[in-house]
Amino acid sequence: MQTRLSLSENYPNYHRLLETDIQNFIELHKHKEITQTLLNLPKEYQELRIEIGNQIKSLQKSKSKLSLWYDSDKVIFPPSLSIEQASSEITANYKADLLNSDSTINLENQTLVDLTGGMGVDSFYFSKIVGKVIYIEQNELLASIAKHNFEKLGAENIEVICNNSEVFLEEARNNNTVFDWIYLDPARRDNIQKKVFLLEDCQPNMVEVWEVFKKVGAKWLLKTAPLLDIQLVLNRLTNIEKVVVVALQNECKEVLYQLDSSQKSFDNEKIKISAINLHSKNLKIQNYQEIQIESFEFSLLQEKEVLIDYNKKNEIQGYLYEPSAALMKAGAFKSITKKYELNKLSINTHLYVSQERKENFVGKIFKIAEVVSFSKKEVKRKFGKAGFNVVVRNFPMSVKELRKQFSISEGDNQFLFFTTFTSKSKDEKIVILCEKIKS
């Protein structure tokens, strides 16, 4: 028997938040400091102290991340932890677009199950792509709020079910039901709210779920935290056909694994790995079509086959390249050199150079002004008591230590890279002065 989801019946305090006077109060105070706002809370709102505080806190956290929710009337926010755990609207929209990769499939006839619905951001954007979304969430309050918000946001093709995901899968298996897509974003906190990352420690345990229930979905999409090692996931799960590392504004946000239950296991070394970097000056989702998407695709086999000869004389030439966070997470350390015809500074230095500027590089590009061998005397003479952005790559000192020792203040567009360079198999500590020409 399914739980009847009703804010007015089961959570009257949250339902009261929809009253016009309370909505006006929240709107007036959503930019203000929460503690002071609650201290001055009108007497008639005292019994809603927790709920009003949650709304204001969540609104402040969602302003750029969830602008549609932030700007919509009579949308209710769950406790702020759910905001932290939710996908941003831009990454959720991009994720939904991944389902469109096969143009021969009519997604309007397909059903996607979101096993860990949470706040419902992913479900909402999946609903714009597929014909039906089934949102599963075991927390009754979260499910009730999501149901209310879907109605306010006009998402009419989402069915909300309050249930444990594994119970739902068990029922589907017993009924021989096969869904077109199953999406799973496991909760990465344990019973005492401590962060966890291994698949086996998350809820639900994807390794067990996959082994028992994989036939319930034709295709699966798994989201993991960026800290989880890609190779570890490839070794723990079968049938992975694609890996996508997603960064937003060069900050790695999530890693996605697409699995196909109808296929035999894929060769891990041949699986396509994509590094995606999403860029925009305005992160409001209404401007999604203006998002610049930088991408790089490779396989572990291609990475393995690239040979770099550090025995020859290498030179640091006109342009320096710093790969995006997504590229680094994906592990495309050598594939970059072949794709863009670049020279790598050292085996453990993931910086690259070229004589001519290479366009469409997924990351930052700098124009090299000067290269200096690292010595305390030389660095102090050339760069001491001046303003630079300081970057450390494969170097024994931290940015903080370098700034303190050489009195280097914060800079504008000029950068100092403290790093290690290999030429004729000899390592040398160097400093590269350069100017950024592409973010």
User: For position 397, what pLDDT does the model report?
Assistant: 96
Give the domains, in start order, of the chain with CATH numbers. 7-83 (1.10.10), 87-300 (3.40.50.150), 306-438 (3.30.2130)
Burial of residue 191 (CB within 10 Å: 0-12, 13-18, 19+) is exposed
Q: What residues are paired with 380 via a beta bridge?
A: none
- H/E element holding 435? strand 426-438
pLDDT score recorded for residue 288: 67
Task: Write out pLDDT tens, residues 204-240.
Answer: 889 999 999 999 999 999 999 898 999 999 999 999 9
Helices (H), 331-418: 335-340, 376-383, 399-406
Instruction: Give pLDDT tens digits for 332-376.
Output: 999 999 999 999 999 999 999 999 999 889 999 999 999 999 999
Residue among 137, 133, 62, 127 nearest 96 (CA): 127
Query: Dihedral of the CA atoms 189, 191, 192, 193 (nearest 10)?
Result: 20
pLDDT tens, per residue, the chain with 439 residues: 456 788 988 899 999 999 999 999 999 999 999 999 999 899 999 999 999 999 999 999 998 899 999 999 999 999 888 888 899 999 999 999 999 877 778 899 999 999 999 999 999 999 999 999 999 999 999 999 999 999 999 999 999 999 999 999 999 999 999 999 999 998 766 554 566 667 777 788 899 999 999 999 999 999 998 989 999 999 999 999 999 999 999 999 999 999 999 887 789 999 999 999 998 766 666 666 678 889 999 999 999 999 998 888 888 989 999 999 999 999 999 999 999 999 999 999 999 999 999 988 999 999 999 999 999 999 999 999 999 999 999 999 999 999 999 999 998 889 999 999 999 989 999 999 999 997 7
Q: Are strands 349-354 and 272-279 parallel, antiparallel or unpaired?
A: unpaired
Residue 60 structure tokens: 């402040």
What lies within 8 Å, CB to CB, of 120 at 6+ separation is: 135, 146, 149, 150, 158
Closest CA to 37 of 22, 23, 17, 52: 52
Give residue 361's pLDDT. Answer: 92
Per-residue DSSP letter, 318: S
User: What is the structure's pLDDT at 192?
Assistant: 46
Looking at residue 359, its pLDDT comes to 87
Closest CA to 31 of 76, 75, 70: 70
